Structure 1
Amino acid sequence: MDLMHLTRRRFLAAGLCGCALCRGVPALAGAAADALPSLPSLPSLPSLVGPGYRPEDADEKGLWRMCARLEEDIAASGLLMRTPDLHRYTVGVVERLMGPQARDLRVYLVHDASFNAAMYPNGMMLVHSGLLARMRNEAQFAAVLGHESGHFARKHSVAGWRTLKSRTGAMAFVTAGGAVAAGASAARGGDTGSWFDLAYSINKALVLSVYSFSRGQESEADMYGLHLLHRAGYTPEAAAQVWRQLIEERKASARARDKRYRDGAVSAYSTHPPSDERMAALSAAAAEMRRAGSGGPSGEHRFDDGHRFDDGREAWRRAVAPHLFTLLAEQVGLNDPGASLYLLKSLAEDGWTGLLRYFEGEVYRLRDEAGDAERAASAYAAAVACADAPPEAWRAHGYALLKAGRGEEGRAALARYLDRKPDAEDVAMVRFSLAQ
């Protein structure tokens, strides 16, 4: 069952259960009054959900039931990533963060190119492919999962559910039901986007209530996650790095569209602290953790067994490398050339590869502005000069050469593509090109 075809009840559960990292949906005005907290100690933010936890009252039990039905649909969804190795790796990161409590969680990796993850009160965690594409190391990945774990541990969804009941009442649900039905009908018309897209067809008043984690709760989840990061031995600066990268990507996207960058979290109606403030708060908290743990001005931290903070860069590369082609293809398919080029250049800070050059060419080819054909051809040529060039780079290079009138070289490149990928779906078309 596709996530776009959830039933009305299950879809409502999707909105009511999850704590997403970057929804960008406004909340009620009262949330804006909450101040950003200073760094609390972990004992002041105890987990309200211990190992083996079960719901305690009628509200929470009802919420768990809705989330359980949603999970059934997600588990059978065609949008699940069929990557058992990457799933095992993600579970390992969660276990490192959460310890014994991780046994109560179920992790689902889903094909959705947006930067997001979500945690549900019954222990279901969704990780988007778009998040996997954007992380630079394991510590950054852990920072995002730690934030979601903070919402879970502090039971923010349950608090939001109770707030929803007190704010909206039965009339909101009646209105929302009709909107969801209409949205589901539209979805059956062929829209293949994420199930999150369907959320915007719900009555606005209900959306405002469903997604109304306060700024205080968001900041609390940030700080809880940062403590988990520190306790697990990850570099605490990773959390602020994630937000810096996200801000820079959004600015690059806006520039490419000749738009002015606007931080949606600055709005008085936003659920999230302003992004720059959020980044600064996380950076300051990480520095405080360094000072507290180092005992000296260098900031170096050694644990009892002598090891230092670790960003897990090499472990991350090994885990993601087999899937990076798919992850980047999904990102380029968003048709957001500013964001895609930013991401590729960021990943290339450790050195350009044939894979990155190929997708750079694809961004230019799809954008198709003045001079982009030449930029794409140059990128494809650079890709095939690398030992790790994907077969698709040879195909793209071949067609670029043919277009430039360099027939013999172009046919040789296409033949190289067929040699490297003899079972490609477009074999017949490429052979036809060679015959010409």
Structure 2
Amino acid sequence: MTTRRAFVAGGLCGCAMHGAAQAERIRPAAMQALVAPGYRPVDADERGMWHSVARLEEELASSNLRLDAPQMQRYVEGVIVRLLGERARETRVYIVHDPDFNAAMFPNGMMIVQTGLLARIRDEAQLAAVLGHECGHYLRRHSLQRWRDYRRKTGIMAFVGAGTRIVAGVSLSVGVDPRGWIDIANSINTALVCSIRQFSRESEREADAFGVRLIEQAGYPPDAAAEVWRHYVEERRASARARDKRYRDKARSATSTHPPTAERMLDLTASARELEAASAPPRLYDDGRDAWRAVVAPLRAGLLDEQIKLNDPGASLYLVNALAQDGWDGTLRYCEGEAYRLRDEPGDAARAGWAYAQAVTLDDAPPEAWRANGYALLNAGDADRGRQSLARYLARKPDATDAAMVRFALAQ
């Protein structure tokens, strides 16, 4: 069975065989769009792919997988406009509940942005870097190339079956369909998923180069692409350490379609420096950090909650601390406490209690921080302050689904 995590790795990654000579870097200036404004499919292969994508889009348009956040929706669409200009009129963005770090763009202009990506982004430039990479795949028609390659290797029957379902990563507790968008796409056409998520080595390198070019032209610092990749790799390293596993760069495998991490970082950085040097007059870049923090603030608690519920404490704690480099707030302290509580190793109860206590001293703490602080105090034997904290939780969220249970605890 193909795992969801394997698909995720495909969203940001491209490569040379371990021990083989490093492929020559693709220069951003060499990238030309193969999709003109108003482009439509021209042959049976393309029409078949577009038909499957249209079915997926119909499913997503009415699905409760979609994030109900109009302001964020407009914000992401605005970033696409900056990246694609006139071509952005032919794109549609769907932000879906999925805690994995990913996005995908389809040949008909549909783009899927996962909430796991929004949870990890620190500024608008980093968001643009990921979306720019996906736009690179779109503009170079990589999904059609992969579709045809898949067809040659597997035969025509690969295009008609429902396919194997993939285990969904979205928690039922967020109130959405337990299937992810990958599951829905797989039920429509397995080849569609493979075509969108498993590009060739050369395609990934092209998308990297094109993406850096797009963000630089849009006025974002081009080194944002390398920065995003660095944080993703460090998160996976932290996850492995927490599980007493050795981190392995799967991109170094001879069968991988992704560039080895070191090579990729060098290429992204070199492309960024090349574009900066070629800008005349020198361009003033803006990473859009303040704008991003303002739009994500109301959503951050929910976005991080999806990640924490995966119970991958190494990744969760890395993410919280990485975001806190811009300053701790009540949401981050509360999420830190939740990560420790779910990890539940010796000493974690005290660590969680300390984080909750810090959270409720901050004005922007979510109501749930008061509940968590209250129960932590009760468990520590501080009944009076525990009840006070629970009462403050109810005052801030009187219609909470667990309000009756909290009132019962207060009555004891």
Q: Which amino acid letter does the alignment assign opposite residue 22 of structure 1?
A: A
1:233 is aligned to: 219
Distance change in 2, residues 1:200/1:328 (3 Å): same
2:336 is aligned to: 360
Of residues 9, 20, 33 in structure 2, which corresponds to 1:22?
A: 9
2:322 is aligned to: 346
Distance, in Å, in 2 between the alignment partners of 1:313 and 1:399 is 35
1:334 is aligned to: 310
Q: How far off its partner does 1:22 sit?
A: 2.9
142-151 vs 191-200, greater mean Cα deviation: 191-200
Distance change in 2, residues 1:194/1:314 (3 Å): same
Q: Deviations over 1:27-86 (max 9, x none)?
A: 9999998964424243x3211111111111221112111111111111121211111110
Q: Which amino acid letter does the alignment assign opposite residue 257 of structure 2?
A: T
Of residues 327, 346, 356 in structure 2, which corresponds to 1:380?
A: 356
Contact 2:371 2:390 in 1 (8 A): yes
Distance change in 2, residues 1:68/1:24 (3 Å): closer
Q: Deviations over 1:331-384 (max 9, x none)?
A: 101110000000000111111111100010001111111111111101111111
Distance, in Å, in 2 between the alignment partners of 1:196 and 1:132 is 18
1:163 is aligned to: 149
Distance change in 2, residues 1:231/1:372 (3 Å): same
Matched, 1:106 2:82: no
Q: How far off its partner does 1:242 sit?
A: 0.5
Distance, in Å, in 2 between the alignment partners of 1:160 and 1:367 is 40
Matched, 1:405 2:381: yes
Q: How far off its partner does 1:210 sit?
A: 7.7
TM-score relative to the length of structure 2: 0.89
Contact 2:159 2:190 in 1 (8 A): no
Distance change in 2, residues 1:185/1:214 (3 Å): closer
Matched, 1:310 2:296: no
SS in structure 2 of the partner of residue 405 of structure 1:
coil
Q: How far off its partner does 1:293 sit?
A: 2.3
Q: How far off its partner does 1:148 sit?
A: 0.3
SS in structure 1 of the partner of residue 112 of structure 2:
strand
Of residues 126, 135, 146 in structure 2, which corresponds to 1:149?
A: 135
SS in structure 2 of the partner of residue 109 of structure 1:
strand
Q: How far off its partner does 1:192 sit?
A: 2.1
Distance change in 2, residues 1:206/1:117 (3 Å): closer
Unpaired runs of at least 5, structure 1: 1-14, 296-300, 303-307
Distance change in 2, residues 1:364/1:210 (3 Å): closer
Of residues 67, 90, 103 in structure 2, which corresponds to 1:117?
A: 103
Distance, in Å, in 2 between the alignment partners of 1:398 and 1:321 is 24
284-293 vs 155-164, greater mean Cα deviation: 284-293
Q: How many residue pairs get matched?
A: 401
1:82 is aligned to: 68
Q: Which amino acid letter does the alignment assign opposite residue 122 of structure 2?
A: R
Of residues 259, 266, 269 in structure 2, which corresponds to 1:280?
A: 266
Matched, 1:65 2:51: yes
Distance change in 2, residues 1:135/1:263 (3 Å): same
Q: Which amino acid letter does the alignment assign opposite residue 429 of structure 1?
A: M
2:243 is aligned to: 257
Distance change in 2, residues 1:170/1:49 (3 Å): closer
SS in structure 2 of the partner of residue 259 of structure 1:
coil
1:3 is aligned to: none
Contact 1:34 1:214 in 2 (8 A): no
Distance, in Å, in 1 between the alignment partners of 2:261 and 2:162 is 35
Distance change in 2, residues 1:33/1:49 (3 Å): farther
Unpaired runs of at least 5, structure 2: none
Of residues 347, 365, 380 in structure 2, which corresponds to 1:371?
A: 347
Distance change in 2, residues 1:184/1:329 (3 Å): closer
Contact 1:358 1:389 in 2 (8 A): yes
Calculate percent identity across the aligned residue pairs: 58
21-30 vs 404-413, greater mean Cα deviation: 21-30
Distance, in Å, in 2 between the alignment partners of 1:208 and 1:377 is 45
Q: How far off its partner does 1:431 sit?
A: 0.8
Distance change in 2, residues 1:390/1:77 (3 Å): same
Contact 1:211 1:271 in 2 (8 A): no
Q: Which amino acid letter does the alignment assign opposite residue 25 of structure 2?
A: S
Distance, in Å, in 2 between the alignment partners of 1:420 and 1:252 is 35
211-220 vs 82-91, greater mean Cα deviation: 211-220
Distance change in 2, residues 1:25/1:270 (3 Å): farther
2:371 is aligned to: 395
Contact 1:113 1:129 in 2 (8 A): yes
